[in-house]
Amino acid sequence: MRSVDWRGDLRFDVIVRSVGSASPNIAAAIAAGLGLPVEAVVASIYRAPSPLARALPRSAADAMCALLCELGLVVDVDVSPTALEPAVTLDVAAEIADPALTEAAGLAIADFLGVSVDEAMELLMTPPGIVLGNVSPVTVAAFEARLPQGALELTTADPLTSRYALFAGDLPPSERAAVASMLPGVVLADDTSLVVMDLSHGDADRIWRRLARNPGVRVFNQAFLRYDVQLDAADSDDPGVAAALEELAGIPLDDCDSVLALAPVTIENGVRHADVETRLKAYAARGISVTARLASFVEHVLVVESAPPPALALVGASGTAVLPLQLPPLSLPRARLLRARLEQAGADVLQYDAPPARAA
């Protein structure tokens, strides 16, 4: 707690510097004590640094500061009126980095957000894994400090300056025409689907408000999208190709001929949207034909080739189940987590992209 020299005629502000180790459940109690809306208290805590109470006598400010520190908040007292620059607010998405630590990460997320573990895990398992929204950088730092080290990879983005992607299917003609009128220059395909990239925050918000009632319409921050790089073709007789694949995709030289024979085949996973163009140009410069495929929402199939009974029990199968056993398609985070659990239990598991769903 920062100390400020006292004068009897001064008033003081209580400033939240970080959520620290506090539980979100304290917001309601603080709001009741201060006579403030809960939403205002939550905003002060999660968009810190931010004033929580203003123009208090020094004794009252010190008492409040001591109490809030005991609750886990990082707070201090400053002479009123405190001038604070508005903090940039960020959205945060999380990807599984170590499946063995995912359950511990889910517990940490649940504790930080004040939700159940099941709700926290659902956030992680639903691409693109958005776990926090409209929070300040110091809140992101406090959140990351509570996570098991190496469990998750976090991506942050300023929602106001980000670019957005619209994905929509089965839109009626009237809705497609409305989107066309809102986005001059956009060329619509001759079907009922619609994909528009690089939307501003304002355009994305307007389109979402117009189309949200339509099932299958999704708008995502492009910073959270991930792509796979697919090798389409390359000259296997060119010695530079093998060197390029080792350098760019990490494929050992001894395996390059086998990989080239499998083309088209995925050679990179999880490339960020901002890096896609650079990656494609890098391959093209080395004479390798590749394609970037949006991977964030592709479902995955697991095939259990062999497994002891405890592993089969994880998927609700008995020890007499016929193997290989193909499991229903799952989102990538769910597939990664289940595969890790199965393999830890002694199963041999294959994983591949689920084929696209056929139109009814």
151, 104: one domain? yes
Per-residue pLDDT of the chain (360 residues; tens, 9 = 90+): 455 454 557 899 999 999 999 998 899 999 999 999 999 999 999 999 999 999 999 999 999 999 999 999 999 999 988 788 888 999 999 999 999 999 999 999 999 999 999 999 999 999 999 999 999 999 999 999 999 999 999 999 999 999 999 988 777 888 877 887 888 777 666 666 788 899 999 999 998 998 888 888 899 999 999 999 999 999 988 989 999 999 999 999 999 999 999 999 999 999 999 999 999 999 999 999 999 999 999 999 999 999 999 999 999 998 888 999 999 999 999 999 999 999 999 999 999 999 876 544
Tell me what pLDDT residue 67 has: 94
Q: How far apart are CA 95 and CA 195, in angstroms?
A: 24
Within a domain: 7: no
**CA 205, 206, 211 angle in degrees (round to 5)?**
95
**CA 91, 120, 303 angle in degrees (round to 5)?**
105
Are the C-beta atoms of residues 134 and 91 closer than 8 Å to each other? Answer: yes
70, 25: one domain? yes
CATH code of the domain containing 96: 3.30.1390.10
Per-residue pLDDT reduced to its tens digit, 225-251: 999 999 999 998 898 999 999 999 999
Q: Kindly give the residue spans of alpha helices, DSSP state H, lying in the chain.
A: 26-34, 38-46, 58-70, 102-113, 117-125, 137-146, 173-182, 201-211, 239-249, 256-262, 273-285, 309-313, 332-344
53, 101: one domain? no
Q: Of 275, 294, 313, which marks where a domain is finished? A: 294
Q: Of 157, 174, 191, which marks where a domain is finished? A: 157
Beta-carbon count within 10 A of 345 CB? 15
213, 239: one domain? no
Phi and psi (nearest 5°) for 200?
A: -70, 165
Q: Of 246, 268, 294, which marks where a domain is finished? A: 294
For residue 300, count CB atoms less than 10 angstroms from its CB and return exposed for 0-12, middle for 13-18, buried for 19 or more: buried
Within a domain: 204: yes
Helix axes of 26-34 and 38-46: crossing angle, nearest 10 degrees: 120
Nearest partner of 167 among 105, 224, 251, 113, judged by Cα: 224
Interacting residues of 71 by C-beta distance below 8 A, sequence separation 6+ = 22, 23, 26
Tokens of 136: 């300040």
Largest Cα–Cα distance of the chain, in whole Å?
A: 85
Q: How distant, in Å, are the alpha carbons of 98, 122, 158, 238, 250 from that of 147?
A: 12, 17, 22, 46, 29
Per-residue pLDDT reduced to its tens digit, 140-167: 999 999 999 999 999 999 999 999 999 8
Within a domain: 239: yes
176, 218: one domain? yes
Within a domain: 2: no
263, 314: one domain? no
Are the C-beta atoms of residues 36 and 65 closer than 8 Å to each other? Answer: no
Within a domain: 4: no
Within a domain: 327: yes
DSSP 186-228: PPPPSSS-EEEEEE-HHHHHHHHHHHTTSTT-EEEEGGG-EEE
137: domain range?
A: 90-157
Tell me what pLDDT residue 7 has: 52
Beta-carbon count within 10 A of 195 CB? 12
Domain total in the chain: 5
17, 70: one domain? yes
The residue count of the chain comes to 360
Interacting residues of 224 by C-beta distance below 8 A, sequence separation 6+ = 91, 93, 128, 129, 130, 155, 157, 273, 296
Per-residue pLDDT reduced to its tens digit, 251-286: 999 999 999 999 999 999 999 999 999 999 999 999
Within a domain: 84: no
pTM for the whole structure: 0.89
Tokens of 40: 């205002």
Within a domain: 62: yes
